[in-house]
């Protein structure tokens, strides 16, 4: 079973995405912060990480850097309410495979995950 980690400080988004991906047959983990996500990924990274760019404390770029420094090769999709090209480019340089601007179409996100996770 493929595993997905959803990292977002908004509980509503975490719960919505958890429900969508569990219906698709994925094992889902949720974290409300970058620190919580790092705790969940101490041993191993899931197959896909969906992470918010802007979170209190540790932002998405910092979380991404720490995951990559741990030699984790999980695929990452960044979700952001901010269309800042500089930040998006930096996240792509750190290995983000796609990004979605909030509000996003949950079905487009689901299809992107399905396509990327089966590679």
Does the reported pTM lie above 0.85? yes
Q: What is the pLDDT of residues 38-65, one digit of tens each?
A: 999 998 889 999 999 989 899 999 999 9
Average pLDDT in the 81-85 region? 73
Tell whether the model's pLDDT for residue 83 goes beyond 70: no
Residue 71 CB-density burial (10 A; 0-12 exposed, 13-18 middle, 19+ buried): exposed
Q: Which helix (H) or strand (E) holds 27?
A: strand 27-31
Pairing of strands 27-31, 75-80: unpaired
Q: Residue 7 in 3-state DSSP? A: strand
Half-sphere exposure of 35 (CA within 13 A, CB side): 3
What's the pLDDT tens digit per position in 85-96?
Answer: 788 888 899 899
DSSP secondary structure string for all residues of 32-43: SSHHHHHHHTSS
């Amino acid at each position: 079973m493929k595993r997905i980690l959803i990292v977002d400080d908004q509980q509503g988004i975490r719960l919505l995405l958890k429900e969508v991906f569990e219906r698709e047959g994925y094992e889902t983990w949720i974290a409300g912060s970058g620190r919580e996500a790092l705790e969940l990924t101490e041993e191993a990274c899931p197959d896909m990480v969906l992470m918010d760019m802007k979170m209190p404390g540790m932002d998405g770029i910092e979380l991404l850097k720490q995951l990559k420094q741990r030699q984790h090769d999980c695929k990452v999709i960044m979700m952001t309410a901010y269309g800042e090209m500089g930040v998006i480019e930096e996240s792509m340089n750190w290995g983000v495979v796609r990004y979605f601007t909030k509000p996003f179409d949950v079905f487009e996100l689901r299809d992107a995950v399905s396509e990327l996770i089966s590679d």
